[in-house]
Structure formats: C-alpha cells, structure tokens
Amino acid sequence: MYVTASHWAVIGVTATASGKYGACFGATTTGHAAIAYVAFINVYAKNCSAGVGSGPTSGHGVDYIAYVGVISYGGAYSHGECFSGVSIYEPYNYDTKLGTHVFAAGIFSINNVNPKGCTDGEGFIFDDWSHTQSNHIPYTGQGVLEQSMFLGNGSDGIEIFNNGAAPIYIFNVTTYGNLTDPTHKGLWGELLLNIDQTVGSTVKNSIFQANIASQNGNLVYGLQTSYADGTNAVSGNYIFGVREQNTDVTNNRSLPRFALGSNTYTSPNFVNPTIPSSAPDCSTSTTTTECMASVIANFTPQAAGAAGLGYQPPGSCTAYPYYPAWLKGIVPVGIITKPCGM
C-alpha cells in the first residue's frame, strides 16, 4: 500500500508483499512536488520484500510522516534490492516549522534480513537525511523514535546514516540480537551512528544489547560510531556487547570529538530474550501492541537500575514535547503512551 498524496492516514491494515519492490507500506511522491502529513497507524507488514518506509521521487519527498503502532516482520528480502524493516529515506523540507516532523513510536521490527551482499536490513534506519544521493539539500526537520523494539534483524538494530542538519531524538527503545545476516556488508552495532553530523542526535533511556561477539569476520558491538562528532549525546542507556565489546567509537576528525555520556555497560537481564521465529498471529488482537504482549513481557529488563529503560508498555497519558500536534485524535488508545488530550 503506497500513499502518494498529502493528508492521508492508513489505520488498522495488515499487508504482505513479494517481488523486487514489494514494500508493504510506503509513502512517496509521483512527480515534482512534495507531500506531507501522512500516517501509518496500527499496521502489520508481514513477510514483505520490503517492510515500511518513505522515500523521494524526482528529487521531492515526504515531510510530516508518522509510523505509530507498526509490526514489520520478516521483510527486506527484496530479490537483489537492499531494504529494511522500517526506513525513512531522504525526507523533504516541506516547511521549516519547529516541532516533530518525522515521528515513529510503537514499532516492533523483527527478523528483517537482506539478500546476500546487501548493506541494509536494519530494524530502523534514518537513511541519508543529508540527501547525498539526490539533491544535496539536507533535511532539517526534527525526527523522533521512541517506545519501540528491534529484534533479530540482519543488520543494525537502529542506524542513523548521513544526517547533517536534522535533530534526531531516540528515547526508550530496545534492540537485541540483531546483525544476524552472515553475509552482511557494513558496520556492526546494535546502535550505529554512521553520520556526518552538524546538528546533534540525542539517545537516552534505551537498551542496546548484542548477543553475538562476531559476524562475517567482524566484531559486533552494543554501540558503534563512524565519524560521529561532539554534537551527539548518548547517555542514560544500557549498552552491552559480548566479551566487553560494548562500544566502538570512530570520531569525525574535522569536527568536535564525540564522547559518550554516562551509560551502564552490563546486561539488562531480560526476563526471557526470545526472538519470534515466525510471523506473529495478530488475528485476535485489536492493536499491534496487544499482539506483541508476550514479546514485550520477555524483554522486560530485570537488572538493578534498568527499570524504566528500553521499551515501555503504554501507560497513562503524560506531558512531553515531542509528540506531533497534527496526530491529535487519530492514534487509538493502547498503542503507545500519548500526551494527555492527544
């Protein structure tokens, strides 16, 4: 299902797709104009050739886009193309207003693996927000990823790739057991900051745990950076790699040096960290979050100090500034924790 016009919400749909370009859910333009205000809510991408995402056409793309309550399972195997579980590729500057333009929350991205020789297959990727592959006009809108879980994907759990001007915030996410693809080409972190940054990314209150020491001849880390700079802030997280391979930091030599904040480098001690080996059956569930209840329970951290970190089940409404006002009234209760009145 592709949305190619502004002001559309797709709610409560399950889709599957095969073929070279078989994405289950996407948003893109059809000509020389941007589109804006598109949302995919409470949707299930099941065994797709590509999972869920957005991207440009003819140099124009999508702004003000939201993915809220999404399961992306068993996708990214696209017969020669390289896709991911959830990908926000080259969003477009529709305007320069403050506030959140790209919003992703309540995401469960699991077992998305590329065909041989690819460099993608991430659970979630902020992909080329500097527009190095198209018009070279950096995207400047604020991006937020929160209340989400990324398990058993072929590449990194989360990657920020080539972002030069957009502030990105990552809160309360859990990644575990990613980098499963034995033919993967690229870098090797549960969280990968693979960026040339001039506006910082902020990563807080999250859990990044590797469960293997190496893959395809490369060491696997809880966090890996490639040319990150000092505008990025990573603090208040659990970051854990096998054999104490917790972090691997490469700085951008031409910019202020990146330095980790205060994090905890031990296992969060999940209750029963079991990655689903087949597509979940959501036929009796009202929401994607309800469908994933057993997975959520299995990945509850038990380590001292880990309570409140990583993915958190929906709770009572709360006040926080990152929720997009344009989503008011269209996200059902029980998918994520929302601000009061939204």
Residue 32 CB neighbours (<10 A): 9
Instruction: Using CA atoms of 192, 160, 300, 218 in order, give the dihedral in degrees to the nearest 10.
Output: -20
pLDDT tens for 41-70 read 999 999 888 889 898 887 789 999 999 999
What the block records as the tokens of 305 is 């100090």
Note the pLDDT of residue 21: 63
What letter would DSSP give residue 331?
S
pLDDT at 29 > cutoff 70: yes
Q: How many whole angstroms separate alpha carbon 78 and alpha carbon 215? A: 22
Three-state DSSP class for residue 186? coil
Q: How many whole angstroms separate alpha carbon 248 and alpha carbon 220? A: 9
From the list 65, 122, 78, the residue with the least C-alpha distance to 327 is 65
Cα 258 to the center of its chain, rounded Å? 22
Note the pLDDT of residue 152: 97
Taking residues 275-298, report their average pLDDT: 97
Distances in Å between the Cα of 27 and the Cα atoms of 49, 98, 140 are 16, 22, 19
From the list 71, 59, 66, 62, the residue with the least C-alpha distance to 13 is 71
Confidence of residue 81 (pLDDT cuts 50, 70, 90): low
Side-chain-side CA neighbours of 59 within 13 Å: the count stands at 4
Note the pLDDT of residue 50: 81
| Percent share of the chain, pLDDT over 90 | 73
Stated as kind and residue range, the H or E segment containing 40 is strand 35-46
Confidence of residue 223 (pLDDT cuts 50, 70, 90): very high
pLDDT tens for 235-282 read 999 999 999 999 998 776 666 778 899 999 999 999 999 999 999 999
To the nearest whole number, what is the mean pLDDT of the chain? 92
Between residues 254 and 294, which one has the greater pLDDT? 294
The values of phi and psi at residue 291, to 5°, are -60, -30
| Percent share of the chain, pLDDT over 70 | 95
Note the pLDDT of residue 120: 87
